[in-house]
Structure 1
């Protein structure tokens, strides 16, 4: 890894020149090109489907000439001047693009979910164990200010709120509409790809919840999934015209029930109830409504338009309230972005 004298030398996989709709350009590149980002991580190389594609991305985003261009994961893995590989490809490309670098002992950051299926994940984990590579998975929503504030409330509120008795979560979204998907998200209708509203969207919501109240006891989990609307219209995001109709094999409804593992914050047999439905909620209903019921009070969190909190320009407000049973007082809890975060805009809408 890099010494304290220089930034970590990183390669980006999946930064495309075809548009600004990729997570690599909308999120990672923005952060890496900030003053803080440059001080910690230096973009040393890009890897795309071809050397030409990598060079086109370098030109589009104004990256310096010394950045290397690679057209294969194996060539990237063979470069001794790269410490860290950051993967932003579609889920079904994660495995093939990061495995060579993991086997070469490089550290890897890969967006959630890590791969398309359990077999690929097991192979990635075993390769990392053998090579000493450290693989980090992008479950970054647990570090958003509202999630951090919730942890602070529970950590500091044990005296007044007591232990967690139960938690109830209702989430809606994953896509903007219950019956359509934009062309860029057609793969959300194909379970084999490994990336969809359940795996990605619900995965992030459940990770936020687990980071606040604790993980579920695996032996206690009961779940039910359902495909309520199998016929999906694929729409051009610009014209809104239907260009194709497909039959999806991905559930659009999920209910999970289980016992929260006991900890210093939770009472024995504390229960989590979770419900997700893809698309819009009933008018006026928030995209996320989450309640944490404690011995002496209750916390209520609502996120108006995005089930993973504020993330993009135009997302509605996230509200945190605490009801104290002894006084019947309802307190509105303030939260805020850090000073560094305030310097940079929220993401633009991606299609």
Structure 2
């Protein structure tokens, strides 16, 4: 592949269904989007032959050229070994990430895996080590690193304008319309009711935020965490958000609180919670960074800064406004793909970054379950 050639994509999880996350993930890469000149969709893989054929038909029409269809677990290896695929994209349930990613690494292909990389620290470290041994570039979907607000915060902290950073505090409210945590759960997300599925509030919501947090604050040194499941039974909703009349037992936490320290000596206090529908007056996301010479306060509509831009960023009391147009859902995704297209010169998260974040997640989990403070190496 020449430097000027588009990167040929094989996407595991791309579907004819509009609700598939993979569809949102690659939307900025399809014609007529500007990045369509940088990427070319050549293959996809779904669960069944029928769904793969339907998806291939849909996207062949969308991109104007033939898109190959693979399916099932055999499809993971087939798409990885397809000579017309340069980059394998994995965007399916986290329980299948390991099985879908290993064939790509073994085939020597670059591979992008949507967060989380694996369902536990063991899988994350295994995949990172395998990619390292094979000399394969592993990319992880932590789009928060492309957030204009996060980049500005990093710039301010690096400048020393706030003086020594003494601490940070975070409150995040995850409303039920997300379909994962709280009093309701969507039918397509029932697997997330299991505490060990790899798709808990800590794994997904906090994992994405931690990726940005360590970027600006540095590494954690220790954490002390508490879990709670205030909604041990969740009402099941259909894809339209309507009650099905069914319920499911939930072992996954819907509340997590923690305190901790960074290697810099700064402290953190954080509380993420699954809540009923957001009422007027509630600010779902509030993040404050305090320095000896000033502070930064961030407010947002959801604790998902990787896809939802903050509504207010105050830097030493003055509101910061981005010079670029901010687009929720796909804005940071598009910016991340633009960085990936730059190759080694781009700014994006790797499997090694995923290990860094997942060490924190694992420490939070162990602390909450064992009732102890956990030091992070």
Corresponding position: 1:205 with 2:209: yes
Residue 179 of structure 1 corresponds to which residue in structure 2? Answer: 183
Q: Displacement, 1:345?
A: 7.6
Alignment of 1:58-73 (within 5 A): 58-61=56-59, 62=61, 63-71=63-71, 72-73=75-76
SS in 1 for 2:266: strand
Instruction: State the SS of the aligned residue for 1:192.
Output: coil
Aligned to 1:142, which of 141, 145, 149?
145
Deviation at 1:34, TM superposition (A): 4.6
- For residue 227 of structure 2, the aligned residue among 225, 228, 234 is 225
- SS of residue paired to 1:11: strand
Identify the residue that residue 86 of structure 1 maps to in structure 2: 89
The yes-or-no answer on 1:216 pairing with 2:217 is no
Whole-Å separation in 1 of the counterparts to 2:21 and 2:162: 39
SS in 2 for 1:161: coil
The Cα offsets for residues 74-125 of structure 1, whole Å up to 9 and x where unpaired, read as 2122223321101111111211112111111111000000122333333322
Which of 114, 117, 120 is 1:114 aligned to?
Answer: 117
In structure 2, stretches of 5+ residues that fail to align are 334-377
Q: Is 1:123 aligned to residue 143 of structure 2?
A: no
2:107 matches 1:104: yes
Measured at CA, do residues 346 and 284 of structure 1 come closer, stay the same or move farther in structure 2, by a change above 3 Å?
farther
SS of the residue corresponding to residue 309 of structure 1 reads: coil
Count of residues paired in the alignment: 323
Query: Please, what TM-score do these two structures have when normalized by structure 1?
Result: 0.84
Structure 1 residues 5 and 296, CA gap change in structure 2 (3 angstroms) = closer
Q: How far apart, CA to CA, are the structure 1 residues paired with 2:295 and 2:284?
A: 20
The equivalent of 2:283 in structure 1 is 286
Larger Rg: 1
Q: 1:249 aligns with which of 238, 248, 251?
A: 251
1:318 aligns with 2:311: yes
Two-structure CA RMSD over aligned residues (Å): 2.5
- Is 1:309 aligned with 2:309? no
Q: Structure 2 length normalisation: TM-score?
A: 0.78
Cα deviation for residue 43 of structure 1 reads 1.1
- Structure 1: 5+ residue stretches without partners: 263-268, 324-329
State the partner residue of 1:297: 294
In terms of mean alpha carbon deviation, does 269-278 or 31-40 score higher? 31-40
| CA distance in structure 2 between the partners assigned to 1:155 and 1:243 by the alignment | 52
Structure showing the higher helix proportion among its residues = 2
Query: Which residue does 1:192 correspond to in 2?
Result: 196
Q: Is the 8 A contact 1:236 1:243 kept in 2?
A: no
* Aligned residue in 2 for 1:266: none
What is residue 40 of structure 2 aligned with on the other side? 42
Distance, in Å, in 1 between the alignment partners of 2:36 and 2:22 is: 16
Partner of 2:155: 152
- Quote the residue 1:132 is aligned against: 135
**What displacement does 1:136 show?**
0.9
Q: 2:225, 2:263 → 1: CA distance?
A: 17
CA distance in 2, matches of 1:45, 1:285: 44
- Residue 39 of structure 1 and its aligned partner are, at CA, apart by 2.1
